[in-house]
Structure 1
Amino acid sequence: MSGHRGSFLSRLGQLLGRKQTEHSLRESIAELVQEAADAQHVPGEQPELDRHERLLIANVLRLRETTADDVMVPRADIVAMRADLTLNEAIELIRNDGHSRLPVYREQLDDVIGMVHIKDVFAYVGRPEEFSLEAILRKPLLVAPQMPVLDLLLQMRQQRIHLALVVDEYGGIDGLVTIEDLVETITGDIADEHDDVEAPMFTERSDGAIDLNARLPIEDFEQRVGPVLTEDERDADIDTVGGLVFTLAGRVPTRGEVISHPSGIEFRVLDADARRLRRLRVRRPDKGPETTVPAAAA
């Protein structure tokens, strides 16, 4: 361990050993991380904290007050199985959705009776007459909307459960959270060894269109293309381009759909799953039209 890194860990240990409020502890750790970021790097020596580590710590500090309600997939976007599906119907739904675990319900979504893993479904291929969703159900984890996400992540890891359902005070299903979603909220945009092949956030094409990551902040987008949001959209606190497209369509559009904005800008969905938009192609009015699906009809 380098002297710089050892010094950081030593100071962090001292902070954790002091008696102080949670708020002041978070502020102290944030200041320590900022000091590490500002420290002059000596060539050949390992820095106290690299960029990825700083982002990780910052995200954990920020998420202390984030709840399940903040990160859940909303009820309207939940893909679930009816308990009476046949094997072929269940497999078709799995193939269309692309997720490994799905809730199972009887008459309506509020009547969830468990969750199913796709490997348990595919185990019945070749013997459909023996298949029953209720026979292969796994127990779901039910949590309150106010549960802190870090506590939820710990509970899901301890119980080895990958999917939790967010339930309101009346027992209705508000949303769904996966352990992958929770980990992503902590790691955020932290890069890995595949970063050199990851598509950039914003790429201008030779035909004038723009390919971008749906997580691109709306402020960055407007800095490049000019003002886009309407007054109502600004009041709605839309943070990302993907959030704008979701708001226009009223749902998560599917791959290939084109959603029109009142400004004349058109958004084609290049990549998406049932829960989120990933990449979009943007065409401005002066760059030639796409074949559009009007937002009102989406």
Structure 2
Amino acid sequence: MGLRESLEGALETHEAQNPGETVREEAKSMMLNIIEFSNLRVDDVMVPRVDIVAIDEVASMRDLLEKFVDANHSRLPVYRESLDGITGMVHVKDFMRWMTAKGAKRSRGKSEKQQLAGLAISAAALSTSVKQSGLHRDVLFVPPSMPVSDLLVRMQASHIHLAIVIDEYGGTDGLVSIEDLVEVIVGDISDEHDIDENLQIKRNEDGTFIADGRVDIIELEEQLKVDLLSDEDEEEADTLAGLVFKIAGRVPTRGEIIRHGSGLEFEILDSDPRRVKRVRINARNVSDSAIGSEAEAG
């Protein structure tokens, strides 16, 4: 019996023997995730190269501003010529300080917040390149095989909270932030931007849909005009990620295609060992019958 199974058994025994001391589900999940954490590698939790949002060092500060607004990230990797030449990162706090220094009207006795009210940045300042701004911070460079526990210790010791994953040829394979590591233990850390934007179901020009794994099943059924769960199974899953897990019997990996009995195809765009994060849905082969099915790997 493994450590995870032993802990689950101990928790069940404790609750059976102490009915008044039920362990909260969130606490159980965190304890079990801590055990899993020690078994994970960097490439299990990294943001893949294709999803990295970064900026060229020769781009202007105006471009950087637009990138921060669009990405909703606090840190952006900076590269020279291509993603294989990442030289550091820019933190949004440093960028805001730079904007304040360049554009705020300085007045004695006024706070930085009050000075921001008079912000007026010149076109010349905004045309400054990211490299010329001097806002570069260091990043860590790590191999995909590094245990995530080692990376967390290294981030804590260095106070550098962004790591670039480098493959055997020296190219950029992915990216890991300290938030990615924390989420392995505590689950998704969502802010108001995540809720507003990431949970949308977006229709592509080719007729496919892109959906967040946390999208509610009922909402998805309304969008697709397809019944996804039978009456007997409607308690089995509440979200798209839960549905995909139920069909596959496991958490599928990025690139897999999971087929639903209705004809829907779920292509996994992003996932980690614990959950499905983003899915492309192909509804072109949907039939008028058949709900609930076994998974097929594509």
Query: What residue ranges of structure 1 are gaps of 5+ in the alignment?
Result: 1-23, 192-197, 246-258, 265-283, 287-298
Other structure's SS at 1:136 match = coil
Contact 1:75 1:173 in 2 (8 A): yes
Aligned to 1:37: 12
Query: Is residue 2:231 matched to residue 1:216?
Result: no
Contact 1:140 1:164 in 2 (8 A): yes
Contact 2:4 2:32 in 1 (8 A): no
Aligned to 1:162: 161
The count of corresponding residues between Structure 1 and Structure 2 is 217
Which stretch has the larger CA shift, 163-172 or 31-40?
31-40
Write the distance in 1 (CA, Å) between the matches of 2:38 and 2:67.
36
Aligned to 1:172: 171
Q: Offset at 1:97? A: 1.0
Match runs of 1:112-261 below 5 Å: 112-125=86-99, 126=103, 127=121, 129-130=124-125, 131-134=128-131, 135-188=134-187, 201-203=216-218, 213-220=239-246, 226=261, 228=263, 243-245=278-280, 260-261=282-283
TM-score, normalised with respect to structure 1? 0.60
Note closer, same or farther for the CA distance 1:242–1:182 as it changes in structure 2 (3 Å cut).
closer
After superposition, the C-alpha distances for 1:127-178 in whole angstroms (9 at most, x for unaligned) are 4545442311000111110011122122212322221100112221100011
Write the letter of the residue equivalent to 1:117.
Answer: H
Contact 1:115 1:139 in 2 (8 A): yes
Coordinate RMSD, CA, aligned:
3.9
Write the letter of the residue equivalent to 1:154.
Answer: V
Other structure's SS at 1:96 match = helix
Write the letter of the residue equivalent to 2:76.
Answer: L
The percentage of aligned residue pairs carrying the same residue is 35
Write the distance in 1 (CA, Å) between the matches of 2:277 and 2:63.
31
Other structure's SS at 1:203 match = helix
Write the letter of the residue equivalent to 1:220.
Answer: K
Query: What residue ranges of structure 2 are gaps of 5+ in the alignment?
Result: 104-120, 191-198, 200-213, 229-237, 250-259, 290-298
TM-score, normalised with respect to structure 2? 0.60
